[in-house]
Amino acid sequence: MFKLQGILPPIATPFDHNGDLYKIKVQHNVEKWNRTGLAGYVVCGSTGESVYLTTEEKLQLWDWVAEYAAPNKILLAGTGVESVRETIALTNAAAERGYKAAMVRTPHYYKSLLNRVDAQVLYFRAVADQVKIPIMIYNWPQATGVDIAPEAVVALSHHPNIFAVKESSGSLEKCIQMMKDVKPGFQVFTGSAPILAPSLAVGCAGGVLAFSNAVPQTVVNIWEAHRTREFDASMDWQRRILRAAQLVTTKYGIPGLKYAMDINGYYGGPPRLPLTVIGPDAKKEIEQAFHGLEG
């Protein structure tokens, strides 16, 4: 089974002020992240505004990140869309570009039909059966309105081509419940930076964290403290990042995160419409929360 551990950012997509992909800033960010302890990169996840990207843009971003990523960084592609057919096509296109695994979010447009365990299991099994690389289930109910059931994850953990779940609900209890019942070797990742240290303490294999776009070394420090069994140090770093993480994940979202990247030496730039840049008060709040955090 494919194994992964550590911290990965679902990388933000750089757009110029015309709203086009900004290649030189992709290079800038990736080469700067290469010098950190991040385990790899997820390209075209929710933080990358994947729902606003065309298929051609996704392919372009996968090519660029593969070109600039250091050889020791593991590449995952965000490939989940609504239909099984297109998700398979995107995942296999990423595989052809050297991506080692794919992160596939829950389909959600027909919520009343897809909030059932049998429908969720069918979708992920159908994808996993036909793709050339292993997949990570991606659950973010706050955005999709679909919350994959723990029993669905348990059933899917036995599929040989499904190796992990990214649980972004922020529920530590749900992570624990999954880890208790999944097949041995199946991995649970948290998608919530505000609970990273306790998630690692209860057995999560790492984090796929939007926050790590802006100050990656802070969350790598939490991971390293956990790995060396220094729980007090891990929790100390957790307390230090808590306010900043809450601002750019739950309160201001991607526009706030992109501003945090801008003030920390990365390129965030503008989000793609209909998302809009944050205002002066929000910028000041983020500046204060990130003061002293170096990433």
Amino acid at 159: H
Nearest 5°: phi and psi at 78?
A: -80, 110
Helix, strand, coil tally for the chain in percent (to 5): 50, 15, 35
Cα distance between residue 12 and residue 152, in whole Å: 29
Residue 111 appears among annotated catalytic residues: no
Which pair of tokens denotes residue 181? Answer: 């019942």
Write down the catalytic residue from 166, 174, 251, 258. Answer: 166
Which pair of tokens denotes residue 200? Answer: 């690692």
**Do 8 and 38 touch, CB atoms closer than 8 A?**
yes
Q: Number of helices and strands (H, E) in the chain?
A: 13, 8
Nearest 5°: phi and psi at 50?
A: -60, -30
**Do 223 and 231 touch, CB atoms closer than 8 A?**
no
Closest CA to 267 of 37, 8, 31, 56: 31
For the chain, how big is the Rg over CA atoms in Å?
A: 18
Reported as type and span, the H/E element at residue 7 is strand 6-8
Closest CA to 198 of 165, 164, 163, 174: 174
Q: Which residues pair with 206 in a beta bridge?
A: 6, 189
Instruction: Reduce the DSSP state of residue 30 to 3 states and report it.
Output: helix
Catalytic residues: 166
